[in-house]
A = this chain, B = another copy of it.
Amino acid sequence: MECTPTFLRARRPEQKQQRYDAIRAAARELALERGVRSVSLGDIATAVGVHKSAILRYFETREEIYLSLGAEAWSDWSDAVHAELDGVVDGSPLLLADVLSRTLGERPLLCDLLTQAPLNLERHVSKGAVRSFKVSVLDGVEELAALIGRVVPGIGPERGFEAVAAIACQAASIWQVSHPSSALADLYSEEPELARACPEFVPTIHRFTLVYVTGLLATAD
């Protein structure tokens, strides 16, 4: 019988990198299937084909794996927004609403992690790991803030920061209510008068962004 190669300990640097990538890929895949909340370290280990202890050579906890995916998802979102807005000089609140709501809707893992990070993930890692996540996300927010401040006349980086923070916070909450459990989804289809409690994600974030950015301009000195 042959030895299953995935169960061997990764020793060479390129093997280590492969193992590290495989852990993150499995964690991402499982979270997209069933939500970050429902994925355990054991599930990730099974999907990679290793024992849990092998994962702990690369990450402190399952939470650290998801914080690392969260930092990457922020930077990927930021790249997508840059790609659409970098050339714009006279952007409107409506353009921002179009771009931000669509690019967020295309990133379910980011949206799920927006809630999971402060609520659960940041509470189960070392100070070093949470610091590295916070620095990375703050950099991401500030970069997007500068972009928005430049693209929409009258906003500037300070109000741009408020816009990014408010939209990310709103997306975190709306993602959870717009993706109910299957029992709750059944209830909504049985009683359509309750469906107001389950808004659709992209249109809700679109409308929110339009209203909030319009408000930022209207309250500007």
Contacts and interface: CB of A to CB of B under 8 A. Distances in A.
Contacts of A184: 122-123, 127, 130, 134
Interface string A29-44: 0000000010000000
A187 B197 CA distance: 37
Contacts of A191: 131
A65 to B, nearest CB: 18
- Interface size range of chain A in the complex: 35 or more
Nearest to A142: B196
B166 A127 contact: no
A95 interface: no
Contact of A173 (B135, B170, B177, B215): B170
A166 B197 CA distance: 12
Among A37, A207, A208, max chain B CB count under 10 A is at A208
A88 to B, nearest CB: 21
A211 to B, nearest CB: 4
A142 B49 CA distance: 51
Contacts of A131: 187, 191, 194
A174 interface: yes
A211 B212 contact: yes
Nearest to A182: B123
A217 B214 CA distance: 10
Interface in A180-210: 180-181, 183-184, 186-187, 191, 194, 196-197, 199, 207-208, 210
Given A37-B120, A162-B207, 11 more contacts: A118-B173, A118-B177, A127-B187, A131-B191, A131-B194, A134-B197, A162-B211, A165-B199, A168-B173, A214-B219, A218-B218
Closest 6 CB pairs between A and B?
A215-B215, A169-B173, A211-B215, A118-B176, A214-B215, A218-B218
